[in-house]
Amino acid sequence: MSKIKNIIDFEIIWKKLHNVISKDEENILKKWISEENTHSEYYKNAENYYSKGSTFDEKPENISTAWKNVASKLQYKRKFGIKHLAYLSIAASIVLMLALVFNWNNDEPKIANLTENVIEQGEKKAKLILDNGTEYELLEGKDLLIEESGVQIKSNGTTIEYNSAKNESATLRYNTIIIPRGGEFSLKLSDGSRVWLNSETTFKYPLWFNENERKVSLSGEAYFEVVKNVNAPFRVQSGIQMVEVLGTSFNVSSYEEDSIIFTTLVEGKVSVSSLHNPEVKQTLNPNNQSLLIKNEGIINKRKVEAYKYTAWKDGRFYFKDERLSQIMKTLSRWYNVEVIFETQNAKEMKFTGDLKRYEKIEKILSKIEKTNEVKFELKDKIIRVK
């Protein structure tokens, strides 16, 4: 059974799973399945995999390369036995699904009922509120240079920086930056730490830090790269959660409407605790994620792929086996649209994909539609999921 033959067979399997197979192709598939038990097992594994979730991606893997990586392992099937063969067949299904499902159709997006109302992707924008209540709109291409309490505040419309000499004797003064739906922004704090703020986020921080502590407040989502200072721990308060670090990179997702606060560590080490019950805490190492369940006051910990939770900072949407309800919540914040599901079943469908964050929403919806699992209707900034 040649490698190319397997690739062609999987194309036919894909058509069968999506009910777009021709009679001739179905005859080929039936004959292929009947040839060997391993063929039948392979088809069942592909069918089981697809029933658990579909994959969409703007950069599909090369089919031949993907198949070589799996086929080389299948050569040892007699040594592994049936149990291991089934596992490798699943791996083959997954790799080829990644390679094929979005190489299938390169047509232009055809989302139902598009109107002339253009839905723009998000952009760099924010509102800055000074300690005295003065407000400034921060927009790409709009420079800002002001001074407050001896601190120079400078923005080029995509990021904002604070430059100040230490002023330990003065009472701390705070600024607040608000990111609306369809916005994102970044800032450099007075200690050199950098913060990336996602849509629908409010971030409060001092103009300067004192010598013993660096404390900020967050509602929404932010990615932090904290400058190390053993004498002044960096603390992030987000709702009922407190994260404490000395110097590290991590992501906090703490939207008020969500029932869980997610903290994901990329580098270093952090301690996550509950303000309501300080002895309830978790220590995170890289690729650990804590889950503070608000209504129960407990903090769980799990191993994750950190990139899944930080890709937004680098201009990507990365979903891995993610429910469509969560995917659409993420898209609605970035594109500032309302999402209505017409069936509960559609909410529970799981998808995987890696897409550009600054892509047109029609193109993203079209990629998901190509799985033949759901349909979208877009009208007047409302997306209906069917």
Residue 107 has pLDDT above 70, yes or no: no
Which one is the CATH code of 123-308: 1.20.1600.10, 2.60.120.1440, 2.40.50.140, 2.115.10.20?
A: 2.60.120.1440
**Residue pLDDT, tens place only, 126-176:** 999 999 999 999 999 999 999 998 899 999 999 999 997 666 557 889 999
The sign of the CA dihedral 224, 227, 230, 233 is negative
Q: What pLDDT score was predicted for residue 12? A: 74
The mean pLDDT value of the chain amounts to 81
For the domain made up of 315-385, give the CATH fold.
Answer: Phage tail protein beta-alpha-beta fold (3.55.50)
pTM of the model: 0.74
Which among 66, 67, 50, 61 has a CA at the least distance from the CA of 16? 50
Element (H, E) at 243: strand 241-245
Report the alpha-carbon distance of residue 322 to residue 10 in Å, rounded: 24
Q: What is the three-class DSSP state of 283?
A: strand
Residues near 87 by Cβ (< 8 Å), separated by ≥ 6? none
Residue appearing with tokens 């952090």: 270
DSSP string across 53-77: -EE--SSPPPHHHHHHHHHHHHTTH
Angle in degrees, 0-180, between the axes of helices 82-100 and 3-17, rounded to the nearest 10: 70
Q: What is the three-class DSSP state of 177?
A: strand
Report the alpha-carbon distance of residue 289 to residue 19 in Å, rounded: 39
Band (56; pLDDT cuts 50, 70, 90): low
Give the domain ranges of the chain: 3-100, 123-308, 315-385
CB atoms within 10 A of CB 83: 7
CA torsion angle for 330, 333, 339, 343 (degrees, to 10)? Answer: 20
**Residue pLDDT, tens place only, 247-304:** 899 999 999 999 999 999 999 999 999 998 888 999 999 999 999 999 988 999 999 9
Which among 190, 234, 231 has a CA at the least distance from the CA of 211? 231
Vertex 321 angle, CA 320 and 325, to 5°: 105
Band (104; pLDDT cuts 50, 70, 90): very low
Residue with the larger pLDDT of the pair 190 and 65? 190
> Pairing state of beta strands 201-206 and 174-179?
antiparallel
Report the alpha-carbon distance of residue 310 to residue 249 in Å, rounded: 10
CA distances 213 to 168, 182, 233, 254, 350, Å, are: 11, 33, 5, 22, 42
Q: What pLDDT score was predicted for residue 327? A: 95
* Within this chain, domains 123-308 and 315-385 share the same CATH topology: no
Report the alpha-carbon distance of residue 118 to residue 96 in Å, rounded: 35
> Half-sphere exposure of residue 15, counting CA atoms within 13 Å on the CB side?
17
